[in-house]
Structure 1
Amino acid sequence: MSANDLFRTLLRPAVLHILRASGFHSAKPSVIDTLVDLTSRYLLLLASRTAHNAYLNHNDLTPSITDVRMAMQDCGILVPSLTAAEELWKDRLRKPLEEYEEDNGARAKEERRRNAEDTADVNEFIEWVRGDCNREIHRIAGTAKPHDISETEALDAVEMEDYLNTLMKKHSKTGVESRFQGTALGSAAEVRPIKIEGGPVDSIQDWNRRTREKSAKLAGTAPSRNNNELSDNVLETREQFEDIEMEP
């Protein structure tokens, strides 16, 4: 299974819980697959726009809250009440804050009102996250905290285990930690040396060490062998010239 298939499989239960919290209790597999595909594409678009904004704003792929907010606006999660041009003209035409009276609190009141207008879309999103709809999704998925739900539902939320741990225990017969170790669902795998069977060495590290030693040995003996061969050639040439001079 590839990484994309794994993440798509993990996303499927989340989509099912959202549908169930919204009032749907049954659907065709093709419909579920389509919704999961749309959700994965939307999350990928949001992540790519965030990385793009981070690279353009500060030449770094580590996003800030501003990069995330801009990406949410690009993807339609945050919908501002005014366009960029309208906000620019409104800022130029409205009365500056310095002209409001500070003693009677008019300046502070106007500043709070402007801040509320600028962050209206963010506040609306925060209200949705903290609202009943998202709380119901958490309750259906078994991830709600007792202080986030009513007293009548607190006992069910405490006894109910979240869906991910339930699925992991369902498909694991030897234990969660051993079955999913080294994957995105479990703990990191222990680093162990790879042993080579049937070879002159036991590990890749030993093979690298022997290769480096052999290369260094060959590099050290090559110049001396060439010098010896050159000396023998010089002596042979000198002897030939001496024989020629001795001939009558």
Structure 2
Amino acid sequence: MPRPVYNDAAPFYVAFVDRMLADPDSFWHPLLQRYDELLGPDLPGQRVLDLACGEGHLARRLCAFGPGSVLGIDLAPALIQVAAERADDPRLSFRVDDAQTLATVPDASVDVAVSKLALMDVADHRALFQATARVLVPGSRFLFSLLHPCFEAPFHEERAPRFLLDEAGERLAYRIQTYAQEGPWQSGGSGVRGRLGAHHRTLSTLVNDLLAADFTLRGLHELFSAPSGLLAQVPQTLLLDAERRP
């Protein structure tokens, strides 16, 4: 198996996570609050699985709602090491596993599965959906989020910039140029998508493949990340709330 790109970039990525969590204006905070709202009341006593958990911030956050256990898995050993060092609750555990196979997770052993802004880092989203369906108890929840595929479509900082700017450099609009171009891409530049790349799928591909993996869709949640300007009108992230069919 190739060395996971996030393993080699672990210090860079952990620093990025810490900056996003520390910034009160980060687009992450509305998204995390939506997880709280949608899942919090149903988490007491539940067995939770956090897919592609990175350094474990979502897993740690969900412990506030009284789950029975929270297991975080990630393909990058360096990130799992950081997650284990940061674990602050005895109900938390972390281990190396591939979200596309979940080889260490038994069938029907999970009550709630979550994933935050990680699906675009997974090469085979269909395999992830199928593996998640296998380990979930029938009738249980799967909430996952990603950069909104309709707007955060493939771009390149130099050849095909993401935003249309006015004369003062303010963002006027997204420039959607390659929405139909599914597969791996990199944005150029020094950001996360420039260094680590991503995998793009259209919204219809994601939803249809989720349904084909034995899930029903409970809801789509589009998150707006600014009180004014472009990002108050165009959602930056998308959260899908699904249920494993009985």
Normalization by structure 1: what TM-score? 0.23
Q: Which has the higher helix share?
A: 1
Structure with higher strand content: 2
Normalising by structure 2, what TM-score? 0.23
Structure number with greater CO (CA < 8 Å, separation at least 6) is 2
